[in-house]
């Protein structure tokens, strides 16, 4: 498979660069600059290399550098921002500090050489996204300038002889109007890629690989019903059938009907070797009397591990423990010199207590949307593939205060009604995440001639791309009206419904 190396110098957009390249059907992988040698790069047979941005100044001796021989390795390179400056610096050019006149945000860029392959079909003038203070003040020998801005004499450069290209702006950011065209020009016009990467084919090749590697081995997977572990289960099941044992711990803190849906899908439809552990009573007992959110989370996490461990012990020694780790879990970007790859275990602590020989993480090269595509290709139901993010501690952190069976039942019903009403919107109008919270506030109400004293349900809906920040969603009043009216009428014990209009920050998405 043809592939591109994204050499990470600590930029904040390195994942985005890899995403953009994969969107063009070329496989891209990110490696920290201090984790791969030039020799290894040559052995891997990359079609091209992209140097990422980074927060440093190349003339600072402590900033990340690379063996300059990379420029003569015969592999095309595209440098972005810091990566462009680094290329100029390594090739003998000069990079200077612009003092107070850096460029940040949308900037008009003029292409001075449209014959150049990198700028093919990029108009003479367009908008790009800039974020830099340093700039290339003298081009290295063999390079020429191919674009500029008002403040930046070298907004793009090239040495066509050696297939070395650099852009001071960020083509990976959507604000750069012709960013994707520039990537396409680099990949197809310069690196000679064919664009043959497809998630479905990749998933098929993984199935083949695991069929070979895991033949005759017993594999254990903790299935949560979330997207990642579900897709990992479907993929491994396609590879090794019933040698895959899935343990699904139902802690009773899932949404209405979710436990049954998981069982129905994996055991019923796929015929998987699935063990469902109904542990609701156990969890409720452990959680009795606990009101502090952190203690709740910890208790749920620990109990989960204990239940899983007990089931695993019944199964005995397994050869492989499989996990639904995905690509963003294992890349830690933006760390410059301290860039490290962390092994992220979805179910913390498990490897210490379960007897197994090796770990398999079949999705560890895939981004979230690619995981969803793979899930669809593997025949998983859409409601599972497009499932909203859901906290590990589940409804445990959406029942404020002590968790009881009665409160959980109220929340499940209210949440189901709210989601049903929001789901009537067309998919593009639906918020990124929407759910109900059972507050610990009770208030007076009236039903017929009777005074009631019931719980207050809070509805929460947010719009966000990354969940790091989020805006409360401006849901249509009719949706809120229907949800409120149905919840107060259909869910006994609720006398009031409120809508959460706080954004993150300062609030968080979840209440606990």
Contacts with ligand XMP, residue ranges (CB under 6 A): 389, 391-393, 433, 467, 504, 508-510
The one catalytic residue in 132, 170, 237, 251 is 170
Q: For ligand XMP, give the closer residue by CB, 44 or 440.
A: 440
Instruction: Give catalytic status of residue 170 as yes or no.
Output: yes
Place of tokens 């440098």: 79
DSSP annotation string for 296-365: HHHHHHHHHHHHHHHHHHHH---SEEE----HHHHB--S-GGG--B----SSTTHHHHS--SEEE-TTTT
The one catalytic residue in 81, 84, 128, 158 is 81
**Min separation Cβ 325 and ligand XMP, Å:** 13
Query: What's the start-to-end Cα distance of the chain, in Å?
Result: 45
Number of H helices and number of E strands within the chain? 15, 20
Q: What secondary structure letter does DSSP report for 399?
A: B
Q: For ligand XMP, give the closer residue by CB, 332 or 500.
A: 500
Instruction: Give catalytic status of residue 128 as yes or no.
Output: no
User: How many Cα atoms occupy the beta-carbon half-sphere of 476 within 13 Å?
Assistant: 11
**Min separation Cβ 306 and ligand XMP, Å:** 18
Instruction: Give catalytic status of residue 193 as yes or no.
Output: no
Is the peptide bond preceding residue 271 cis, with omega within 30 degrees of 0? no
Q: Which of 409, 434, 453 is nearest to 499 (CA)?
A: 434
Q: For ligand XMP, give the closer residue by CB, 201 or 508.
A: 508
Cα separation of 395 and 256, whole Å? 10
Listed in sequence order, the residues at least 6 apart from 13 whose beta carbon sits closer than 8 Å to its beta carbon are 52, 53, 170, 172, 173
Burial class of 308 by CB neighbour count within 10 A (0 to 12, 13 to 18, 19+)? buried
Cα separation of 158 and 180, whole Å? 18
User: And the tokens for 375?
Assistant: 């899930």
The one catalytic residue in 172, 258, 263, 303 is 172
Q: For ligand XMP, give the closer residue by CB, 295 or 508.
A: 508
**Min separation Cβ 340 and ligand XMP, Å:** 22
**Min separation Cβ 389 and ligand XMP, Å:** 4
Q: For ligand XMP, give the closer residue by CB, 140 or 393.
A: 393
**Min separation Cβ 109 and ligand XMP, Å:** 36
Q: For ligand XMP, give the closer residue by CB, 181 or 387.
A: 387
Torsion of CA 249, 255, 261, 267, to 10 degrees: 0
**Min separation Cβ 253 and ligand XMP, Å:** 11
Q: Please, which residues bridge with residue 498 across strands?
A: 458
**Min separation Cβ 501 and ligand XMP, Å:** 15
Q: Which of 453, 454, 419 is nearest to 436 (CA)?
A: 419
**Min separation Cβ 3 and ligand XMP, Å:** 30
Tell me the pairing of strands 433-447 and 450-463: antiparallel
Cα separation of 56 and 133, whole Å? 10
Cα separation of 214 and 483, whole Å? 49
**Min separation Cβ 301 and ligand XMP, Å:** 8
Torsion angles phi and psi, residue 447, rounded to 5: -135, 115
Q: For ligand XMP, give the closer residue by CB, 61 or 506.
A: 506
Q: For ligand XMP, give the closer residue by CB, 252 or 393.
A: 393
Q: Which of 472, 469, 463, 470 is nearest to 500 (CA)?
A: 472
Q: Which of 142, 138, 141, 170 is nearest to 154 (CA)?
A: 138
Q: Which of 133, 147, 164 is nearest to 55 (CA)?
A: 133
Q: For ligand XMP, give the closer residue by CB, 206 or 509.
A: 509
Listed in sequence order, the residues at least 6 apart from 355 whose beta carbon sits closer than 8 Å to its beta carbon are 312, 316, 317, 318
- Catalytic positions: 81, 170, 172
């Amino acid at each position: 498979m043809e592939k591109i190396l994204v050499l990470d110098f600590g930029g904040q957009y390195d994942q985005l660069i890899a995403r953009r390249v994969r969107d063009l059907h070329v496989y891209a992988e990110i490696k920290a600059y201090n984790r791969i040698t030039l020799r290894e790069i040559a052995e891997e047979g990359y079609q091209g290399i992209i140097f990422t941005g980074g927060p440093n100044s190349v003339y600072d001796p402590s900033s990340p550098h690379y063996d300059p021989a990379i420029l003569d390795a015969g592999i095309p390179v595209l440098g972005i921002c810091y990566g462009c400056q680094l290329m100029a610096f390594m090739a003998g050019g000069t990079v200077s500090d612009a003092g107070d006149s850096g460029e940040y945000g949308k900037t008009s860029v003029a292409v001075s050489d449209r014959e150049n392959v990198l700028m093919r079909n990029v108009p003479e003038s367009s908008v790009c996204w800039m974020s830099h203070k340093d700039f290339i003040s003298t081009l290295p020998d063999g390079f020429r300038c191919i674009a500029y801005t008002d403040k930046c004499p070298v907004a793009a450069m090239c040495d066509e002889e050696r297939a070395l290209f650099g852009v001071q702006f960020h083509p990976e950011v959507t604000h750069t109007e012709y960013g994707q065209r520039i990537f396409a020009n680099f990949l197809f016009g310069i690196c000679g890629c064919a664009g043959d990467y497809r998630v479905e084919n990749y998933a098929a090749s993984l199935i083949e690989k695991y069929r070979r590697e895991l033949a005759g081995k017993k594999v254990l997977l903790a299935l949560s019903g979330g997207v990642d572990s579900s897709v990992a289960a479907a993929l491994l099941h396609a590879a090794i059938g019933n040698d895959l044992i899935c343990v699904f711990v139902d802690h009773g803190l899932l949404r209405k009907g979710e436990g049954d849906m998981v069982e129905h899908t994996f055991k019923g439809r796929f015929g998987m070797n699935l063990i469902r552990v109904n542990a609701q009573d156990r969890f409720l007992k452990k959680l009795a009397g606990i009101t502090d959110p952190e203690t709740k989370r910890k208790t749920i996490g620990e109990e989960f591990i204990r239940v899983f461990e007990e089931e695993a012990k019944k199964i005995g020694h397994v050869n492989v423990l499989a996990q639904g780790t995905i690509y963003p879990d294992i890349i830690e970007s933006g760390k410059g010199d301290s860039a490290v790859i962390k092994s992220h275990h979805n179910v913390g602590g498990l490897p210490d207590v379960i007897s197994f020989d090796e770990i398999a993480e079949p999705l560890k090269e895939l981004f979230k949307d690619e995981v969803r595509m793979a899930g669809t290709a593997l025949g998983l139901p859409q409601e599972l593939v497009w499932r909203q993010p859901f906290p590990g501690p589940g409804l445990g952190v959406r029942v404020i205060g002590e968790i009881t069976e009665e409160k959980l039942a109220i929340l499940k019903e209210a949440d189901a009604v709210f989601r049903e009403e929001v789901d009537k919107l067309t998919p593009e109008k639906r918020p990124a995440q929407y759910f109900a919270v059972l507050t610990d506030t009770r208030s007076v109400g009236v039903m017929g001639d009777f005074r009631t004293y019931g719980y207050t349900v809070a509805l929460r809906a947010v719009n966000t791309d990354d969940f790091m920040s989020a805006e409360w969603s401006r849901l249509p009043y009719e949706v809120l009206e229907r949800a409120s009216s149905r919840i107060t009428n259909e869910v006994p014990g609720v006398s009031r419904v409120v809508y959460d209009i706080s954004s993150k920050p300062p609030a968080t998405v979840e209440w606990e």
